[in-house]
Structure 1
Amino acid sequence: MRSEQLTLEDVEAIALGRQTLAVTEKQMHAVENAHKFLCRAISDRKRIYGVTTGYGPLATTEVDPRQSALLQQNLVHHLCSGVGEPLTHPQVRAMMVARLISLLSGHSGANPLLIKRMQEWLDADMVPFIPCRGTVGASGDLTPLAHLARALSGGGKVSIKGGLWIESRDAHQQLGWQPLVLKGKDAISLVNGTSATVGIALLNATAAERALKFSTLLVLLYAELLNGHREAFHPAIGQLRPHPGQQKLHSWLWSLSASSDALVPWCAESGNLNLKGEDIQQNQPLLQDAYTLRCAPQALGAVLDVISQHATTVNIELSAVTDNPLLFAEDELILHGGNFFGQHLAFASDHLNNALIQMALYSERRIARITDPLRNKGLPAFMQPLDTGLHSGFMGAQVCATSLVAELRSQAMPASIQSIPTNADNQDIVPLGTIAARRASTSLTQLYQILAIEALVLVQGAELKTIHSLSHSSQVVCAWLRQYALPLKEDRPLSEDITRVAEALIDPDKVKSLIDLLA
């Protein structure tokens, strides 16, 4: 897959190891020109931050170019201070792709050999151990990217094709490579950018959109089980409140519900009052449903707008050059600035996290209503059709969903407002975008677990009612889910079922047949 103008879905496919990354001649030409310009500038004894000077508040120290390799090595060593569990295999691959795309613009001055080696790592599916904690995202993702640079230099640990962690030097020997010697601007070009945050946020963007679409399909199935009014989905309602997300939800739900015989159909002419000599007539059929049905386009539409805004920010950042200093070879210009400051991604990730939590809450409220025999239109309590009381059905699973929402709410404090000065007050403001992106990633995992519980409950309900009256899309959802979980008759442990369904939902290939319903 060509590295120019990649979509978020393209990069996700590369991160999952299902596509390869191809570098173009034009890009390599730009990299070579920038590197040659850098080498000339170093030979001319130009003062270049991080190349002929120290780092951060130590940039007042001038460094002889003959110490270049040691300077770059020491940068990597002092920044390799990350702690905690490693980023996931796809997150690290996404980070590597994002860093490559930035370097390939030809404004960083990295050695072409570095580009080639990173591409070889992706092709071999080799990833470094990247501790998830330790970066503030102010001068870019210094700490996680330094662990990448260390591994490229033969230090630290790596995994090949998802295998056990082994020493990087042993992996290099196994693949017939020599570890790189980083010099010139190689190390600072690697570490001084937002690529770790971009990689995580990129995977969040694609996964969040799929979660929204699956939630939309569940909304329709939920509405059908409760014999909801199709009228609430009418596109004309969205025309009067033209938020793009809400209008899209009206369009999807109106179209998908057209094949349903389980909803109360809409007709242009409303009925007449049923008054027989009285001015008040009680206990008549409801004209409209609870908000979990009636406000679905508004609730999920708002989430979709946030997901779209977040994806736009990530897309821009993916194509950006975010290290410092920046080289403009054609103009023979070197500029020092702050493109590494990850504020855009921090705000976008926090905003996305709030929307994900709201989507999880909305799913949990649907589970609560559909399992309650006082509100679920004749379905059994907790969807247990046999010997209710002796068996409890999805009672425990519903409690699990409630617990997950409570935990998500406890993690809702924005990371982007938690700035703490560091680095001898050189980094006197920090955006903390990586923390925000990691938090959204955790929220997505738990959201998918809640959606898995909801899907198990709703499909059980569909099979207890007349499934043939359901819309085509709901029947597809039911058939899809039964690939991963059997119907619940007698009580059984559901943990494995929930995990299996959630993992299938996260996989873009396994869920494609469902997402295509909303194409």
Structure 2
Amino acid sequence: MTVIVEPHGIAPGDVAAVARADAQVAISDAAIAAMQASRAIVDDIERDGRPVYGVSTGFGALANTFIAPERRAELQHSLIRSHAAGIGAPMPREVVRAMMLLRVRSLALGHSGVRPLVAQALVDLLNHDITPWVPEHGSLGASGDLAPLAHCALVLMGEGWVLGKDGARVSAEDALHAAGLTGISLSSKEGLALINGTDGMLAMLLLACDDLGHLCTMADVTAALSIEAMLGTDRPFHPSIHAIRPHPGQGASAANMYKLLQQSSIMDSHRDDLAHAVQDAYSMRCAPQVAGAARDTLEFARTVAARELISLADNPVVLPDGRVESTGNFHGAPLGFAADFLAIAAAEIGSISERRVDRLLDMTRSRDLPPFLSPDAGVNSGLMIAQYTAAGIVAENRRLASPASVDTIPTSGMQEDHVSMGWAAAKKLRTVLDNLTSLLAVELLSAVRGLQLRAPLTPSPAGRIAIDQLTPVIGTPGPDVFMAPILEQVRAAVAGPALLSAIEAEVGPLS
């Protein structure tokens, strides 16, 4: 697959393809023409000697410092070196690859005043699998993701570090040489154009939206299996119930759960039993309302990200009429708010999941399942401590759900006196989603164990498939075993496509 970067932007799926599936990248002729046109305007400004921020002046608090023509290329190189001031562990490869593609996208819009060769240099890094070493700390999310993008730009110059195959730090000069590439020299405006933008936080937000879409569906699966194992009722999930409160996400989750719970001998065994069929606990009955609200939040975040994909977040911008204007479009508030909102939503999916796990393990509330889902409780502890693990993760997610975007620390001599913290919001969102994957794994393990213990009653088709796929991993109810490797493998089943695909092949597509 090759992603073609056009002068009108790219699609969300393009970002995932390049970041995670190593798709190749090419710049269209139309995008090259757009960049050439905007560069011609910058060249005219250079010849006229007009004072323009970032072209003939310094940056930030030094915006009023005039730079002599013969030092303007030096200015751009100095900018990159000084702003590549991050610290900490390197960001994951997929995030950096997404960042670079998004910066190519921004330059290709034709409002940044760079030569096409600058954008092509970023494309060359992507296509030769050269990933800059970008430290995790450094961005405040206003003036964009300055430090992270500067670490990428530094590699274009043949300086800095890249990620080695084994995670080691490798000299950028050596990596470029091995790929048959050389560093480039920057001209006026080009260094600034490489680092002024929201590409880091947008990269993480887009990847998070991709991940959460899958996890929302898996949350419906684990909830349905838990409810089935606890002899719950499917009546609260009937479409007629949700038509009278028409939140789209709620309707989608309820429809998934209703579909998953059909054709179950376990459900049929108590369908007319008032003790079981009248009213389940909130963590069971309200699952679509919580997961559905998260789905609607996800749609909001996707809308924000889609807008940003066709936006120019550079500063200053080169307009077709020849003006070069300073803007505030680099401010990350829209993305920071969306990332924080998603973290809240994802944390709640995990919180209600853990409540179902606790109910499954409690003999006083699980409707005749053995304590901690162990057939020989006492000598054996079953899944007791797996729920401890889930509880600890829920607590961490609650802390991470506190918004980063309400914080600000003034910088650059008070010139940049309000910042978005969008990078921090997006980065902690990734941790929340990683934690959510683990929480759903604990619920999936508990639900499948509960369904196994309902034998000889047969579960729904979805439950049967889950049992068939997970039994080789988790075994059958019996004496305690080493739990950590089992949890890791169940977590992989939650994160990957195989289990969900097998269930959909049996019951039909899920939303």
Same fold (TM over 0.5): yes
- For residues 76-475 of structure 1, the aligned pairs below 5 Å read 76-160=80-164, 163-263=167-267, 286-329=277-320, 331-385=321-375, 387-466=376-455, 469-475=458-464
CA distance in 1: counterparts of 2:502 and 2:131, whole angstroms: 31
Secondary structure, counterpart of 1:219 in structure 2: helix
- What whole-Å deviation, never above 9, does each CA across 1:37-68 have from its counterpart, x for those lacking one? 22222222232211210001111111123212
Q: Quick one: structure 1 residues 97 and 505, their matched pair in 2 at CA, closer, same or farther if it must change by over 3 Å?
A: farther
CA distance in 1: counterparts of 2:136 and 2:209, whole angstroms: 19
CA distance in 2: counterparts of 1:166 and 1:238, whole angstroms: 55
CA distance in 1: counterparts of 2:109 and 2:21, whole angstroms: 23
CA distance in 2: counterparts of 1:479 and 1:447, whole angstroms: 24
Do residues 2 (structure 1) and 4 (structure 2) align?
Answer: yes
Q: Which runs of 5+ in 2 are unaligned?
A: none
Name the residue aligned to 1:277: none
Secondary structure, counterpart of 1:22 in structure 2: strand
| Offset, 1:489 | 3.3
CA distance in 2: counterparts of 1:357 and 1:287, whole angstroms: 29
| Offset, 1:404 | 0.8
| Offset, 1:148 | 0.7
| Offset, 1:197 | 0.5
| Offset, 1:502 | 2.4
Name the residue aligned to 2:15: 11
Q: Quick one: structure 1 residues 249 and 495, their matched pair in 2 at CA, closer, same or farther if it must change by over 3 Å?
A: same
Mean CA deviation greater in 212-221 or 6-15: 6-15
1:214 and 1:515 in contact (8 A); partners too: no
Q: Quick one: structure 1 residues 168 and 404, their matched pair in 2 at CA, closer, same or farther if it must change by over 3 Å?
A: same
Do residues 496 (structure 1) and 496 (structure 2) align?
Answer: no
Equivalenced residue count is 504
Secondary structure, counterpart of 1:136 in structure 2: coil
Name the residue aligned to 2:467: 478
CA distance in 1: counterparts of 2:473 and 2:124, whole angstroms: 36
| Offset, 1:510 | 7.7
Secondary structure, counterpart of 1:107 in structure 2: coil
CA distance in 2: counterparts of 1:27 and 1:468, whole angstroms: 62
Do residues 31 (structure 1) and 35 (structure 2) align?
Answer: yes
| Offset, 1:497 | 2.5
Q: Quick one: structure 1 residues 81 and 223, their matched pair in 2 at CA, closer, same or farther if it must change by over 3 Å?
A: same
Mean CA deviation greater in 158-167 or 312-321: 158-167
| Offset, 1:499 | 2.6
Q: Quick one: structure 1 residues 467 and 170, their matched pair in 2 at CA, closer, same or farther if it must change by over 3 Å?
A: farther
Secondary structure, counterpart of 2:88 in structure 1: strand
Q: Quick one: structure 1 residues 363 and 142, their matched pair in 2 at CA, closer, same or farther if it must change by over 3 Å?
A: same
Q: Quick one: structure 1 residues 371 and 426, their matched pair in 2 at CA, closer, same or farther if it must change by over 3 Å?
A: same
Letter in 2 for 1:479: D
Letter in 1 for 2:89: E
- What whole-Å deviation, never above 9, does each CA across 1:157-208 have from its counterpart, x for those lacking one? 1025565321001111111111121222221111100001011111111111
Secondary structure, counterpart of 2:89 in structure 1: strand
Secondary structure, counterpart of 1:2 in structure 2: strand
- What whole-Å deviation, never above 9, does each CA across 1:72-119 have from its counterpart, x for those lacking one? 111112212111111111111111111111111111112211111211
Secondary structure, counterpart of 1:518 in structure 2: coil
CA distance in 2: counterparts of 1:442 and 1:89, whole angstroms: 16
CA distance in 1: counterparts of 2:13 and 2:504, whole angstroms: 13
Normalising by structure 2, report the TM-score: 0.93
Letter in 2 for 1:363: S
Mean CA deviation greater in 412-421 or 473-482: 473-482
Mean CA deviation greater in 462-471 or 177-186: 462-471
Letter in 1 for 2:388: V
| Offset, 1:500 | 3.3
Secondary structure, counterpart of 1:127 in structure 2: coil
CA distance in 2: counterparts of 1:162 and 1:312, whole angstroms: 37
CA distance in 1: counterparts of 2:127 and 2:341, whole angstroms: 34
Mean CA deviation greater in 87-96 or 27-36: 27-36
Mean CA deviation greater in 245-254 or 448-457: 245-254
CA distance in 2: counterparts of 1:24 and 1:512, whole angstroms: 36
Q: Quick one: structure 1 residues 371 and 343, their matched pair in 2 at CA, closer, same or farther if it must change by over 3 Å?
A: same
- What whole-Å deviation, never above 9, does each CA across 1:388-443 have from its counterpart, x for those lacking one? 21121111111110111112222332111111222111111111100001111111
CA distance in 2: counterparts of 1:21 and 1:489, whole angstroms: 52
CA distance in 1: counterparts of 2:472 and 2:422, whole angstroms: 38
Q: Quick one: structure 1 residues 202 and 513, their matched pair in 2 at CA, closer, same or farther if it must change by over 3 Å?
A: farther
CA distance in 2: counterparts of 1:497 and 1:285, whole angstroms: 31
| Offset, 1:232 | 0.3
CA distance in 2: counterparts of 1:451 and 1:428, whole angstroms: 41
2:404 and 2:421 in contact (8 A); partners too: yes
Identity %, equivalent residues: 33
| Offset, 1:266 | 11
- What whole-Å deviation, never above 9, does each CA across 1:430-471 have from its counterpart, x for those lacking one? 111000011111111111111111111211222222387322
